[in-house]
Structure 1
Amino acid sequence: MIARARLQSLHAEEERRFVELHPRSATLAEQARGPLLAGVPMPWMTRWPGAFPVFVESASGARLVDVDGVEYVDLCLGDTGAMTGHALPQVAEVIAERARTGITTMLPSADAVWVGEELARRFGLPTWQLAMSATDANRFVLRFARYLTGRPRVAVFDWCYHGTVDETLAVLDGDRVVPRPGALGPQVDVAVTTAVVPFNDLDALERRLAEGDVACLLMEPALTNIGIVLPEEGYLAGVREVTRRHGVLLIVDETHTMCAGPGGCTAAWGLDPDLVVVGKAIAGGVPAAAYGMSAEVAGRLSGPMLGHEIDVAGVGGTLTANALALAAVRATLSTCLREEDFAVAVPLAERFTEGVAGVIAEHGLPWHVQRLGCRAEYWFCPPPRDGAAAAAAVDEELEAFLHLWCLNRGVLLTPFHNMALFSPHHTTADVDRHTQVYAEAVAALLGQ
């Protein structure tokens, strides 16, 4: 129903508008091309719409202001890293205080005890460790799983994603395990390290785990990094039964799915994993992550953790669990990501979903909008049931246009997806602003 010539013409108009709106960012982008690879300090920053990245001046609550003075409703929130909202005063205060009393000593602080107890309360797993990022945490738990089981492979879901962990950047090509498209210089052949199975397919999981070489299944309880793909009724209970029967450790990565509530999907859906990973949002923007484990797993690891050579075990890091990060985690979890915060944010995501669904229905489009807690995303297809179907439905031209159209009208979506994330700092007016902008984009695409 979308005429491609019209889409390309509209996109060209939006590119011209973008350049006119951002002269200062254009200047900085040109300067950055010399000292910074691809003109950015981190590769993912090239994924934003427009001819160059928008340079940020400040961010507070649910608002972001760029160096040209343009203000945005921020529905990206640092791709979940700022799910609490930006520039939290309580976090800023403890950062300043901790900076004056020592940031990193490679010794525990009293905040570590509080953080461990709070994470145990939220997620139901009794024992925790800290990491610098969820990627690090995932690397560590995969090592633990291989050590505990003596098995060489890890299992992931097709087109899922767990940071920059080498073993997880794998997909299925027919029956073959191959590197995910875009993965640069894979460390080893992923077919050697990784088993890949489709999401929402218990029979496929059963067949693969029955081979007996898989140490663990690392999973999001709902896929989020290929778009939101929800588990079918009874699927997660089936995953737990199959993994347990085959002696495979179940690791749940809640880094994105913490949007479901204070204890992520693990608490909201009554899951029973062996290990849980959580990151990004737990320190209010300060780099920090954590991983928890059952009492049985912790008991089996306690010996190696006290070993003389634990510093060369491939787990940890000099700056990991530093006093600054732990103070920020405590300040964040004691004041944010609580039931009362989700009670504000989730209804906003519901309103977003209803608004987008209304526009889709009005025009009779075969599109869909999906929600998980305070996160929502729209598709240009019916709801997919697995990652491969989601990947096949990606329309890069259409996504690029809609992202740029929204950005040019002061609405910032997550650059990798058509995704919106809500915090207690957002308002119904913010939601309705997006609905209006989205409706105008669709009307323009359809020539109305």
Structure 2
Amino acid sequence: MSKSGICESAVAIFAANERRRFIESNPKSVALAERAKANLFNGVPMHWMSDWSMPTPLFVQHAKAARFTDVDDHEYIDFCLGDTGTMFGHSPVPIARAIAEQANKGLTTMLPGEDAVVCGELLAQRFGLPFWQVTATATDANRNVLRWARAITRRNTLLVFDGCYHGTVDDVMVRCRDGKTVHRSGLVGQAYDMTQYSRSIPFNDIQALEAALAQCDVCALMCEPAMTNIGMVLPDPGFMHKCRELTLKYGSLLIVDETHTISTGIGGCTQLWDLQPDFFVVGKPIAGGVPCAVFGFTEQVALAMTDAQENVRKDSGGHGHSGMGTTLSANALAMRCMRANLEEVMTQAAYDYMLPLAAGLAQGLRYLFKQHRLDWSVAELGARCEFQFCATPPRNGAEAEAAFHDSLQIALHLYLINRGILITPFHNMTLCSPQTSHMDLDRLIGELDGALTALLAIPGARVAST
């Protein structure tokens, strides 16, 4: 039996109807998908773009604010927003203006401009860490931070939480199974054993956390303040402060990745909960949708980084190569957009609007599930909320994964897409932007109500949940 309380055979009938509707309603997307197969692997420019709930990829024509239009001229309310990449809406006016202004001033030169200086000042003021570096993606930022952590501590092992998400850093592609660290399933072309220098433990498990750190071989704990990619998992009260306490006790660094959790507030969970990390990472939304990420660090860490560089130079007998870089990092366009985003878009006023809106959505979802007699839970984190097919919010990645009902999720997503609403794929997460309206929330809840009404009307749809 599924925890969702919905019978698989009913889901199959419901999903088949929605797939037919999508194919009939999107002839141009279907045609483009077929044409794309000739030159794009799986018919898409990045393979995971074919993993959505649609039977064929949906092709976008243009996007603005909290909406986008596909090539068949259907308009959608967007609660995905590039999975946080466009958290403040598609093409905010200050970002569009910054792109236009920079377009004729040079896009990348491998040299800094004044925008870089201003961005450093703004980041320090906002997040409370004095020193910053800029990369193209949060994956790059996390890779760089991990190298620094290993160099500073002269330890090799990285500690992560089971079900974590830190981009495509190789070292985090591990899971915890029966108390042992194993490779994440589905990895392609994995050539070496990552469990040699990566360790995975359950989230919210203080005993496992201390046991892992007490081996005194952990360079850093890399974590999200709340897990967001395996289904939202919130920290127990005091858990994140215990992470700080125990990493200090055992000589490990604390890396806080807020690429998703920046939805919590203008300074993220780091400021809201006073987490005091050694390194802080944020990616996707920091430049208003232009590829860019940053990592900040303390003065003590900066001094240790300088010492580590000097030690490497002495050991190698020359300048060498740090293993960190990419020539497009901190390019002029990204820095201009980041400055505009920090000054004019990613503001306190934006959060003051987004946060209560998302809280209202979460409340509406809870009421809806109660009306349909479904034991589903709703988790909230700032402008973000998510519904899960279990009665009690999960406390770790394994519990969140156990609540998955993939076919049901896919069917519900497709129903919403067929009616002009997009939520984050691969789980049931929504994000409210400064451009999202109360009417948009009503539409989402109303359409989801329609989906559940139709699904539960199928004979035998409802089963006892487990």
Matched, 1:359 2:368: yes
Q: Which of 104, 114, 132 is matched with 2:118 structurally?
A: 114
Matched, 1:391 2:395: no
List alignment gaps of at least 5 residues for structure 1: none
Q: How much does 1:304 deviate?
A: 5.2
Q: How much does 1:317 deviate?
A: 1.6
Q: Distance in 2 between matches of 1:265 and 1:187?
A: 36
**Contact 1:104/1:319, CA 8 A, preserved across alignment:** yes
Q: Distance in 2 between matches of 1:203 and 1:411?
A: 42
2:463 corresponds to which residue? none
Q: Distance in 1 between matches of 2:169 and 2:319?
A: 21
Q: Distance in 1 between matches of 2:320 and 2:292?
A: 20
Q: Distance in 2 between matches of 1:276 and 1:325?
A: 19
2:287 corresponds to which residue? 283
Q: Which of 14, 17, 24 is matched with 1:13 structurally?
A: 17
Matched, 1:258 2:262: yes
Q: Distance in 1 between matches of 2:320 and 2:266?
A: 32
List alignment gaps of at least 5 residues for structure 2: 459-466
Matched, 1:271 2:280: no
- Percent of aligned positions that are identical: 47
2:437 corresponds to which residue? 427
Residues 127 and 418 (structure 1 numbering): CA distance in 2 closer, same or farther, change over 3 Å? same
Q: Distance in 2 between matches of 1:175 and 1:417?
A: 25
**Contact 1:153/1:214, CA 8 A, preserved across alignment:** yes
Q: Distance in 2 between matches of 1:95 and 1:62?
A: 20
1:56 corresponds to which residue? 60
1:339 corresponds to which residue? 348
Query: Helix, strand or coil for the counterpart of 1:58?
Result: strand
Amino acid at match of 2:283: G
TM-score, scaled to structure 2: 0.94
Residues 217 and 187 (structure 1 numbering): CA distance in 2 closer, same or farther, change over 3 Å? farther
Amino acid at match of 1:350: A
**Contact 1:131/1:321, CA 8 A, preserved across alignment:** yes
Q: Alpha-carbon deviations, 1:197-226, whole Å to 9, x = none?
A: 110011100001111111000000000011
Q: How much does 1:239 deviate?
A: 0.9
**Contact 2:179/2:201, CA 8 A, preserved across alignment:** no
Q: How many residues align?
A: 448
Amino acid at match of 1:324: L
**Contact 1:38/1:46, CA 8 A, preserved across alignment:** yes
Q: Distance in 2 between matches of 1:354 and 1:405?
A: 22
Q: Distance in 2 between matches of 1:39 and 1:179?
A: 28
Q: How much does 1:380 deviate?
A: 0.3
Amino acid at match of 1:345: M
Residues 59 and 305 (structure 1 numbering): CA distance in 2 closer, same or farther, change over 3 Å? farther
Residues 276 and 408 (structure 1 numbering): CA distance in 2 closer, same or farther, change over 3 Å? same
Amino acid at match of 2:69: V
Query: Helix, strand or coil for the counterpart of 2:53?
Result: coil
Matched, 1:412 2:422: yes
Query: Helix, strand or coil for the counterpart of 1:376?
Result: strand
Matched, 1:100 2:104: yes
Query: Helix, strand or coil for the counterpart of 2:367?
Result: helix
Matched, 1:442 2:452: yes
Residues 365 and 405 (structure 1 numbering): CA distance in 2 closer, same or farther, change over 3 Å? same
Q: How much does 1:182 deviate?
A: 2.0
Q: How much does 1:305 deviate?
A: 5.6
Amino acid at match of 1:90: P
**Contact 1:75/1:411, CA 8 A, preserved across alignment:** yes
Q: How much does 1:187 deviate?
A: 4.3
Query: Helix, strand or coil for the counterpart of 1:312?
Result: coil
2:332 corresponds to which residue? 323
Comparing 61-70 and 166-175, the one that deviates more: 166-175
Q: Which of 234, 237, 256 is matched with 1:233 structurally?
A: 237
Runs of 4+ in 1 over 4 A off after TM superposition: 303-311
1:79 corresponds to which residue? 83
TM-score, scaled to structure 1: 0.98
1:314 corresponds to which residue? 323
Query: Helix, strand or coil for the counterpart of 2:345?
Result: coil
1:163 corresponds to which residue? 167
Q: Which of 360, 366, 371 is matched with 2:380 structurally?
A: 371
Q: Distance in 1 between matches of 2:109 and 2:325?
A: 14
Matched, 1:193 2:197: yes
Q: How much does 1:18 deviate?
A: 0.4
Matched, 1:297 2:301: yes
- Determine which structure has greater relative contact order: mean sequence separation of CA pairs < 8 Å that are 6+ residues apart, divided by chain length: 2
Q: Distance in 2 between matches of 1:161 and 1:213?
A: 22
Query: Helix, strand or coil for the counterpart of 1:2?
Result: coil
Q: CA RMSD in A?
A: 1.4
Residues 332 and 84 (structure 1 numbering): CA distance in 2 closer, same or farther, change over 3 Å? same
Amino acid at match of 2:321: V
Query: Helix, strand or coil for the counterpart of 1:401?
Result: helix
**Contact 2:378/2:385, CA 8 A, preserved across alignment:** yes
